[in-house]
């Protein structure tokens, strides 16, 4: 619940900036709120996935210590708003996110910004591979799940780099769910049995990949990733940081162990959670809390007195 309070605060503080076209202002409001609440949490947290390097991000930067220092030692991934552009444009699927794992278990991939990913439910384990053509992955997952190819839906970030991938998916007979941003929610929805999304594929942020891995540990999903440096300089930087750039990363390579938490609160409405809503004197938030050790998914609906947030 302490983590939920932090994502709730970030989401609520971002609301005045929804649809205002200023993603930096929205992000700053969320960062400031999250940082205050994280300072009260009973843990010794080290931010592995944050807002960038210290000089670029005065709040919640990579390597910052958070929490009151009196609890367990943890690795932390934070994204006060996953989908700042979505928030600024007033679009769906913006989230405030925190992921936590035991100290030393979260891969620090911050020196390489992008990661190629494939995410499915548990049925994809041993069935799909990032090294296989997407058409083969679709057909193999269809066989495993018994779902016809023509009914399958793949989530993909709507980017020019994915034009060929999208064509291949459609040529295989499956449909696409194009995302303008926020592939954390896309990955989680690909692993949840009650959604229409069967797979999330393509190149997105490596921080979002590690964050998604924490969530998948809790819901029994499957994921592979491979770092995708944008140029030779970034590749060299990743190698200097000790990363195996070409390695096919399994879930345990991204987050080892079985003690992860993932918390997300909706900023705007989406397929994972509803966004923040003002209802008279009440501010309503919806959050999802995933815990790997117990394999539980909890939804937290909270009503906050608006007068306390003025």
**Residue 116 annotated as part of some ligand binding site:** no
**Residue 120 annotated as part of some ligand binding site:** no
Domains of the chain by residue range = 2-103+259-308, 114-254
Architecture field, domain 114-254: 3-Layer(aba) Sandwich (3.40)
Q: Taking all residues of the chain, what is their mean pLDDT, rounded to a whole number?
A: 93
pLDDT digits (tens, 9 = 90+) for 118-139: 999 999 999 999 999 999 999 9
Please report the pLDDT score of residue 53 as a whole number: 63
**Residue 35 annotated as part of some ligand binding site:** no
pLDDT digits (tens, 9 = 90+) for 250-261: 999 999 988 999
Pick the CATH number of 2-103+259-308 from 2.40.160.40, 3.40.50.300, 3.30.540.10, 3.40.109.10: 3.30.540.10
**Residue 159 annotated as part of some ligand binding site:** yes
Cα→Cα distances 295→90, 103, 161, 286, Å: 33, 20, 35, 20
State if pTM tops 0.85.
yes
DSSP assignment of 197-249, as one string? --EEEEEEEHHHHHHHHHHHHHHT-EEEEEE--SSHHHHHHHHHTT--TT--E
**Residue 183 annotated as part of some ligand binding site:** yes
**Residue 244 annotated as part of some ligand binding site:** no
**Residue 27 annotated as part of some ligand binding site:** yes
Crossing angle, helix 23-38 and helix 2-14, to 10 degrees?
Answer: 160
pLDDT band at residue 309 under the 50/70/90 scheme:
confident
**Residue 84 annotated as part of some ligand binding site:** yes
**Residue 161 annotated as part of some ligand binding site:** yes
Q: Is the pLDDT of residue 195 over 70?
A: yes
| Residue pair 283/306 in contact by the 8 Å Cβ criterion | yes
% of the chain at pLDDT higher than 90: 83
Please report the pLDDT score of residue 58 as a whole number: 54
**Residue 182 annotated as part of some ligand binding site:** yes
pLDDT digits (tens, 9 = 90+) for 10-65: 999 999 999 999 999 999 999 999 999 998 899 999 999 987 665 555 568 888 89
Tell me how far the alpha carbon of residue 198 is from its chain's centroid: 17
Alpha helices (H) in the chain, listed in sequence order: 2-14, 23-38, 84-89, 134-145, 163-171, 183-191, 206-219, 232-240, 251-254
**Exposure of 197 by Cβ count < 10 A (0-12 exposed, 13-18 middle, 19+ buried)?**
buried
Q: Is the pLDDT of residue 232 over 90?
A: yes
Q: Which two tokens stand for residue 229?
A: 């440096």
**Residue 83 annotated as part of some ligand binding site:** yes
**Residue 5 annotated as part of some ligand binding site:** no
């Amino acid at each position: 619940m302490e983590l939920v309070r932090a994502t709730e605060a970030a989401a609520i503080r971002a609301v005045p900036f929804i649809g205002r076209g200023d993603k930096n202002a929205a992000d700053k409001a969320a960062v400031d709120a999250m940082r205050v609440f994280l300072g009260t949490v009973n843990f010794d947290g080290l931010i592995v996935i944050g807002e960038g390097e210290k000089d670029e991000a005065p709040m919640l930067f990579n390597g910052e210590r958070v929490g009151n220092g009196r609890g367990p030692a943890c690795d932390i991934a934070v994204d006060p708003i996953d989908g700042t552009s979505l928030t600024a444009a007033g679009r769906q699927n913006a989230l405030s996110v925190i992921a936590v794992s035991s100290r030393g278990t979260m891969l620090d991939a911050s020196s390489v910004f992008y990661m190629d990913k494939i995410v499915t439910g548990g049925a994809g384990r041993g069935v799909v591979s990032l090294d296989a053509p997407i058409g083969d992955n679709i057909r193999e997952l269809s066989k495993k799940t018994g779902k016809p190819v023509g009914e399958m839906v793949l989530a993909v970030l709507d980017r020019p780099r994915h034009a060929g991938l999208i064509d291949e998916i459609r040529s295989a007979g499956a449909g696409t769910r194009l995302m303008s941003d926020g592939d954390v929610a896309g990955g989680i929805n690909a692993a949840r049995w009650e959604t229409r999304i069967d797979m999330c594929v393509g190149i997105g942020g490596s921080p979002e990949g590690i964050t998604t891995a924490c969530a998948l540990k809790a819901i029994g999903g499957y994921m592979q990733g491979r770092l995708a440096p944008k140029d030779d300089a970034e590749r060299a930087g990743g190698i200097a940081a000790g990363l195996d750039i070409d390695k096919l990363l399994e879930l345990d390579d991204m987050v080892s162990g079985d003690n992860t938490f993932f918390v997300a609160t909706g900023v705007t409405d989406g397929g994972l959670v509803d966004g923040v809503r003002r209802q008279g004197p009440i501010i309503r938030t919806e959050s999802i809390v995933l815990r790997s050790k117990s394999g539980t998914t909890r939804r937290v609906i909270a009503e906050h007195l608006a007068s306390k947030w003025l």
